[in-house]
Amino acid sequence: MAGTSIMETLFQRDLDDLIKGIRQQQIKESLFISKAIEEIRREIKSTDLPTKSAALRKLSYLSSLHGADMSFAAFHAVEVMSSPQFFYKKIGYHAVTQSFNDDTPVILLITNQLRKDLNSSNQFEVSLALECLSRIGNVDLARDLTPEVFTLLSSNAVRVCFKRLVENLESSEPVILSAVVGVFCELCLKDPRSYLPLAPEFYKILVDSKNNWLLIKVLKIFAKLATLEPRLAKRVVEPICEFMRRTEAKSLLFECIRTVLSSLSEYESAVKLAVVKVREFLVDDDPNLKYLGLQALSIIAPKHLWAVLENKDFVIKSLSDGDYNIKLESLRLLMSMVSESNVAEISRVLINYALKSDPEFCNQILGSILSTCCRNLYEVIVDFDWYASLLGEMVRIPHCQKGEEIEHQIIDIAMRVKDVRPALVHVCRNLLIDPALLGNPFLHRILSAAAWVSGEYVEFSRNPFELMEALLQPRTNLLLPSIRAVYVQSVFKVLIFCAHSYLLHKENISSVNTDNLASEVPESVFARMSCENSDLATSEAPASSEQHDSFNPRNINQSFGDLSIENGGDATVSNSQASTSASLGRNSFTHESIVNLFNIVELALGPLSRSHDVEIQERARNVLGFTDLIEQEILNPVVQGEENLARAETEASRVVKLMCDAFSEELGPVSTSAQDRVPVPDGLLLKENLADLETICGDIQLPLSSSFSLSSTPLGEAVDISRTNLQSKDETEPSHESTSLLAEHRKRHGLYYLASEKSEGASNDYPPANDPMSQDKLNDDAEDLLKLTEQSLAPKKKPNQAKPRPVVLKLDGDEISVAAKKPELKDDLLSGVVQDVLLGNDGVPSSSRSNRSENLSGKSKGKEKLSTDLSLETKENVPGEKMPDHVNTSSRRSKHRSHGKERRQKGQGKDGEEKEDNGQKEKRKSNHHRGKHKAHQRADEPLNVVAQTPVIPDFLL
């Protein structure tokens, strides 16, 4: 046995050999390491300490630098750690520190070892144990070892526990001071309020200390404290300014600047000085300082925008810096500068910049423009026409990959802002008509939004024929099926719009010139008609008034009349008739142009009706079915007799009008919470067993199936009814066999179908814009919307605008981010305790100190002294409980700190109980609950209301 261990010792590879081996790389590194680990696994089991420790050291090397797993050696690490010899102990501690975490099972084994080492006479062993504890300490270890740490700390120069810690703030020794300040700095980040009473000590350090490390920490503390206590801020602002003026150290200077900008921003002179210093940073050659300068500016931006505006040149210049971080920071700053007045200018600069920059940053720019502009429902945007064109421009930037955001915003503003629709439709037309854009898959989603907008708001289109061509151009086959379906649906809408306008014309013509026979020379009629445009407009006014308000193309046409000529010029020429007629007079839906339109649609959608994608197929078939229906009746009037014509036309126009009405239903944005506001109808029991409903369901299905069969009857009298029926339903494809099958299926599994009535009323054309909801809900919501828009308009009066800002619809579901929420104070385990100590500090220093030390250093000692501390305890606790913004110290304490509970219970308990307690320590546990209750009761008692804020001595303030 001994022999093998000696052999191992002699021939073991030590760390140097291992490192050399890895570096020589005769075999592959990973292979070498796995071999080495195998070796270590064997060696580490050795009983010989040198072998074991060498193996452990090798393992910790491999673990820290090559990511080897060393959890298997946890126990061995503990063994080595417990060696009495410092050399091995050190290796063991290093391994433990490196590898242990809360999940390591053997962590429980080291408690005693740590305790022993913490009590060791060798200071280096103590430091090893402390270092280790600082790294791996968990709740158990902390509970068990805190007394040792405290005795340790109170035994020599540094005496700790909070009371002592506080005393050490006055220590003359820099090391101790910096350690203590470090502790408080870390604590302050978690819960600054508890440490307010220590402000005088910190202030003293701030004024006296010459140590920059220390000052930085103290400044960090003050940055936290000053926001809580304005009087304190007033006090520290002068010394901090003094530092800013005279310090050489950039790190201290930066900390001062940051403190002033973040916490002392009310002090004009300090901020001004800080901004001057920031400017020095910005012009410095060191990229670090430049970056930090920009960062400092972004801290101050929300409160003092002038500071940023003053340095605008630098900010814009650093957009072209070589460093991505600096670029990003300056972009953020630029975005924070955005306001109503300069949004156009800044966006212009940025868009130009985006054109030149690399793809990643380009998209970063676009993304931040988009997110800034849409903030709080497009708060900064006054001129939505401009914004629409900006969106159009963004799409044209070659690197643009922000399809999703732009898509969303196009649809969003189209729905929310009525006034922008004409401009937006124009922008969308330009996008749709460009075949090049179809080649970029990132833009497809934008195109889908554009297609939806131009279909939904086709009445604003200057030239629907051109739009139709754009929607049907051959390159659309590059689109995804889902997007193509949107295209087809838009085609449908445009088609209906054209047909409707055409019929409207005809009607009016026949009403104006009754003796003119339209069927004989339609061209001449339409030529005349276009001359009589103005006449028509007036004569049509009553006719169109029964239509939806916005559905009055003529008025719009007139306003755009001057544009129509140039418009006709750049239109695609393939449909010469359409474009010529467009140039003749915007509004001439001549017979030919309509025929041509129908031809194009049929030609383009024919192949799609056999598409494999159901959505496209279905929609294409819908359109084709419609054209079939209309074409025969209205487009071939010459063939039919005159009386026939009149009759057929009225019928066709009825069909078209119904369809039109279906589509002209205004789609508004719907709040996500809208569903909740629909009242549950009387007699609807949602939780009842649904099995009973089967018979009722059967009844409901019957009329449904009949409506399906209706729709498939040959065109006749009933056609328009069935059409509308069909339209308002899901526009499903009529087919006899399948419907009957479906009906049967419904009958059998009726329960699994949604009640069909629900989908009525909501025209189902574009999923993202439209929630399936019942009619009454729509009305309900519309009212809400109306109310909300009124509300949103009222407070926002912007007097200095040449052009009034259009209405932006708001929903209560929309989140409008106001200022950042007040950070909730964390329920901190420590803070309650700490507060007690620090508050008690000024009143009764000596006894409360002893009190504290007991409380922290364990229960056992505390118990005996309880009775003496009684009065004190109550005194201390009372104010804490009644402070409103003081996060109820007592309840927190009673929850988290078991001994705190005991003590309180005792505090209020009467004398007899104390004696009992002193005697029976075993009964403690059963008393816990009672203690808790009492603590709460006490908090409710009105007796001891002494409102009190943390005590800060007046000499400071």
Site for other proteins, rule CB under 8 A: 2-3, 6, 9, 15-16, 19, 23, 48-50, 57, 60-61, 63-67, 69, 85-88, 90-91, 94, 101-102, 124, 130-131, 134-135, 174-175, 178-179, 182, 186, 189, 211, 213, 216, 220, 250-251, 254-255, 258, 286-288, 290-292, 322-326, 328
Min separation Cβ 294 and other proteins, Å:
10
Residue 228 burial by Cβ neighbours in a 10 Å radius (0-12, 13-18, 19+)? middle
Give the dihedral sign, CA 173/179/183/189: positive
Q: Are 493 and 455 in contact (CB under 8 A)?
A: yes
Distance CA 448, CA 456 (A): 12
Spatial CA neighbour of 617 closest among 733, 729, 509, 521? 733
Least spacing, CB of residue 678 vs other proteins, in Å: 41
CA 8 to chain centre: 60
Gap between the Cα atoms of 417 and 768, Å rounded: 17
Residue 59 CB, nearest distance to other proteins (Å)?
A: 12
Whole-number Å distance between alpha carbons of 618 and 415: 26
- For other proteins, give the closer residue by CB, 216 or 370: 216
CA distance 559 to 126: 89
Min dist CB 242 to other proteins, Å, is: 19
Residue with Cβ nearer other proteins (135 or 936): 135
Minimum Å gap between C-beta 323 and other proteins is 4
**CA distance linking residue 448 with residue 450, whole number of Å:** 5
Which letter does DSSP use for residue 951 in this model?
Answer: P
d(CA 149, CA 140): 14
d(CA 808, CA 843): 59
CB of 828 to other proteins, least distance (A): 17
Spatial separation of the C-alpha atoms in residues 710 and 707, rounded to whole Å:
5
Closest distance between other proteins and the C-beta of residue 213, in Å?
A: 5
CB of 500 to other proteins, least distance (A): 56
With beta carbons less than 8 A apart as the criterion, state whether 541 and 548 touch. Answer: no
CB of 28 to other proteins, least distance (A): 15
Tokens at 871, concatenated: 């009065």
Shortest CB 127 distance to other proteins, Å: 8
Give residues with Cβ within 8 angstroms of 302, minimum separation 6.
336
Compute how many other C-beta atoms are within 10 angstroms of the C-beta atom of residue 196. Answer: 20
Residue bearing tokens 């919470």: 673
Tell me how far, at minimum, the Cβ of 185 lies from other proteins, in Å: 8
Closest contact distance (angstroms) between CB of 324 and other proteins is 8
* Residue with Cβ nearer other proteins (56 or 674): 56
CB closer to other proteins, 174 vs 302:
174
Nearer to other proteins, 291 or 487 (CB): 291
Q: Per this entry, what is the length of the chain?
A: 957
Complex with other proteins: residue 274 or 630, whichever CB lies closer? 274
Nearer to other proteins, 122 or 779 (CB): 122
| CB of residue 119 to other proteins, shortest distance in Å | 18
Placement of tokens 């106001």 in the chain: 818
Nearest 5°: the CA angle 362, 365, 369 is: 140
Nearer to other proteins, 89 or 421 (CB): 89
* Residue 118 or 427 with smaller CB distance to other proteins: 118
- Could you say which DSSP state residue 303 is in? T
Output the smallest distance, CB 461 to other proteins, in A: 46
Nearer to other proteins by C-beta: 130 or 437? 130
Do residues 506 and 518 make contact, with C-beta atoms less than 8 angstroms apart?
yes
Q: How far is CA 542 from CA 88, 260, 694, 767, 878, in A?
A: 102, 68, 51, 34, 79
Name the region of 407 (left: φ>0; alpha: ψ -120 to 50; beta: rest): alpha
Q: CA end-to-end span of the chain, whole Å?
A: 76
Nearer to other proteins, 225 or 719 (CB): 225
Rounded CA-CA distance 648/633 in Å is 6
3-state secondary structure 789-843: HHHHHCCCCCCCCCCCCCCCCCCCCCCCCCCCCCCCCCCCHHHHHHHHHHHHHHH
Which residue, 83 or 539, has its beta carbon nearer to other proteins? 83
- Cβ nearer to other proteins, comparing 209 with 728: 209
Q: Considering beta carbons, is residue 221 or 377 the nearer one to other proteins? A: 221
